[in-house]
Chain A
Amino acid sequence: MTLNRRAFIGTSAAAAVTLAAPGVFAAGHGKPRVVVIGGGAGGATAARYIAKDSKGAVDVTLIEPTRMYYTCFFSNLYLGGFKEMDDLGHSYGTLAAGGVNVIHDWATGVDRAAKTVALAGGGSLPYDKLILSPGIDFVEGAVEGWDVSAQNAMPHAYKGGSQTELLKAQLMAMPEGGTFAMVAPPNPFRCPPGPYERVSMVAHFLKANNPTAKIIIADPKAKFSKQSLFQEGWANYYEGMVDWIGEDFGGGNVSVDPGAMTVTIDGEVTQVDVCNVIPAMKAGRIAELAGVTEGNWAPVNAADMSTKADPDVYVLGDASQQGDMPKSGFSANSQAKVCANAVRGALTGSKVFPAKFSNTCWSLIDTNDGVKVGATYEATDEKIAKVDGFISATGEAADLRRATYEESEGWYAGITADMFG
């Protein structure tokens, strides 16, 4: 087995460990091997917990192409000017220091019969258990006139990092009184309140910098997450700026022309200055290449997040089709800990405890006006099923909204510490 040297540039501690490791396995050393693909809220958490809790008894390798992880959660706050891009970046160095072999490369295929993962840089990695946490890709042809080659003219900004920066730059360059358009995605998609928090943050920026600008949203859905809370906020803070066109008014009948910068909604052509196209989503491509998807997503068993297709392959987070949990970083992190407990148990005989899941999504509507929605979940034979939930109420006191926002900052610090150590 060979591994390309390029794969190891970056976290040197990880490199040293990993360079030695393949030879050890080839010699038939009995240490069980877990490979995790994708270093986001699901993958980083799973890798970290298995490495930490097995205390070296399990060899954990994380394959992640980027050197720095820029969270998609809180990226709207960067658009609104509440966070800097540096606030959202996290290095994989802490995971390497915590005993995870971090390989910066693309996984290009999975051979489930041979139990190996192929890498773009050459070579392949054997596994006993494989955890896929690849996030999302976009469904081709979902928005007429748009494909990924148009993502510079009309960014999706639905993966953290450069796309988010591009959208912010376009927002800042909008002419006075210009139009910001968003094409919202159909269900199910990553971060259900995300597009609407983004509208709030864009409106916040425009109100201060370009107050005669307009925002139009073409939405294929008849309703959306935290709708009454967002619409209350838009009316209170951004009166007359936001025009949401839902399914009932033809919001789903949309096409775009990235060259001409036009959006056509239900036959009506509008010239726009910025167009944020968030297309329909599907599981990150490696899940499809591994042959564990049905349709757009990978069906999993609720008890341990193993796929219906293969008991040794697990899928976490956005890419999974698990039941009632929303696709969110919080959900992926929650699922990762259940999965890590089960995988470690299967490989080392440690105690496996019953699955428990939870999620909370905070959204910022304007300065110090945060709202949240959350729920707890349990594993049933059919799916991850909702147990209990809550949502912020309209008309809440300003103090409570401010406390909710401060809490969301605490959560951000908490979950990123939980992911990366």
Chain B
Amino acid sequence: MRWPLQSALSLAAICAAGMAWSNELGDPEKGADVFRKCTSCHEIGEGAKNRVGPHLNGIFGRPAGAVADVKYSKSMIRAGDDGLIWTEKTLDAYIENPKALISKTRMSFRGIKDIEERSHLLAYLRAYSDNPSDIPEAEPTATGTDHDLDPAILAIQGDPEYGEYLASECTTCHQSSGANDGIPGISGWPTQDFVVAMYAYKRKLRPHPVMQMMAGRLSDEEVAAIAAYFRDLE
């Protein structure tokens, strides 16, 4: 991966200030690795689009819940209305434990407890915020939409009633409230992301054995039906 000029500059600035990696911003290269935890829902870089979560270009300085056409939780919108701005401090708190900052956030992520890991991640994110008009010419980093699925499969309109029945098998583990207590919430996902993820399990590209097994026996119509049901679940 090529590294944007401004991250090199900010690194230089940090080193000059004698803060190395331990404080505040860390190592953006290491942060790129940490960001893999985020890529099933977030894109960053040139051409980044909103997926399950908003794109993260220019996140520093942006008010919470402010990207158009993103399905935010009411709590996130309210936090933005109340004046929450994403800064190093607020992002650090949010990434450490999302629910501590935004109690009913739709971001179904347990958080990163390790302060160093967070500092690396923040350094990586910062590189795409320092000068948003100059987003580096890298591919969007998200893998959630990397696929070569037959468009016909993505075009199937699922039967929500069948989806509701089939989804009852999912909700033994995935809470319909979207809460994550160790197993991620899947409510409110865009249909395409849901279908792509299920096929990644069916093809055993995603590694989880329970999900490979559960997805493995679903027909194309059944995947579409479940996707349609969860899309509309608040």
Contacts and interface: CB of A to CB of B under 8 A. Distances in A.
A375 B171 CA distance: 16
Contacts of B184: 410
Contact of A389 (B161, B166, B213): B213
A237 interface: no
Given A351-B161, A387-B217, A372 B210 contact: yes
A94 interface: no
Interface residues of B, number: 28
B179 interface: yes
A411 B182 contact: yes
Contacts, number: 86
A337 B169 contact: yes
B22 interface: no
Interface in B174-203: 174-177, 179-184
A235 interface: no
A307 to B, nearest CB: 22
B209 A410 contact: no
B172 interface: yes
A360 B174 CA distance: 13
A417 B175 CA distance: 7
Interface in A44-97: 49, 53
Given A374-B210, A387-B217, A408-B182, A337 B173 contact: no
Interface string A319-354: 000000000001001100100010000000001010
B162 A353 contact: yes
B169 A360 contact: no
A409 interface: yes
Interface residues of A, number: 32
Nearest to B181: A413
Contacts of B213: 358, 374-376, 388-390
Interface string B136-180: 000000000000000000000000011011101101111111011
Given A410-B173, A414-B173, A415-B173, A390 B209 contact: yes
B144 to A, nearest CB: 19
Nearest to B110: A406
A414 B217 contact: no
B162 A414 contact: no
Contacts of B165: 337, 341, 353
B176 A358 contact: no
B168 to A, nearest CB: 4
Contacts of B217: 356, 376, 387-388
